[in-house]
Copies of this chain bind each other. A is one copy, B any other.
Amino acid sequence: MITLHATAADLDRLARHLKVLAEPNRLRIVDLLMQGVQCNCELGDALNMAPNLISHHLRILREMGLVEVERDAVDARWIYYSINRSLLAQLAQTFGAFFDPTRIQDRHPACGPQGSLVYADRTLEAVC
């Protein structure tokens, strides 16, 4: 997953996942599903949102892989949604690794007077 030096593809993937989760109503849906499996109408009632809007958001979460679907065995009209535990764990790990404070390096600026002082042997390399 994310190493000390994240690749561009890793960053883009993380940004895409963060964007999905950054929408307040989707985050609320995820929070509710963390509390247990629920159907569209239950989510809608809890969040005061219309069924089609719930469907819309759930679709985005499903496309991301974070939410899974199961139809009722007795009556297929009922659809239950749940969190994909393994992807959630992966996401938590990715985020934790990327935003790990111990990853902050001591490197000083290569530009400006302070930059020139600290990296005297890199002055020629400093473009700005």
| Chain A 81-122 interface mask (CB, 8 Å, partner B; 1/0) | 001010011011001101111011111111111110000000
* Residue contact A109 to B15, C-beta cutoff 8 Å: no
Nearest-neighbor residue (CB-CB) of A78 within chain B:
B112
Among candidates B27, B99, B106, residue contacting A15 with C-beta atoms closer than 8 Å: B27
**In the docked arrangement, what's the CA distance between A99 and B31, Å?**
9
**In the docked arrangement, what's the CA distance between A59 and B45, Å?**
38
* Residue contact B39 to A27, C-beta cutoff 8 Å: no
Within 8 A of B (CB), among A4-20: 5-6, 11-12, 14-15, 18-19
* Residue contact A34 to B105, C-beta cutoff 8 Å: yes
**In the docked arrangement, what's the CA distance between A40 and B105, Å?**
18
Residues of A within 8 A of B (CB): 5-6, 11-12, 14-15, 18-19, 21-24, 27-28, 31, 34-39, 41-42, 45, 72-75, 77-78, 80, 83, 85, 88-89, 91-92, 95-96, 98-101, 103-115, 127-128
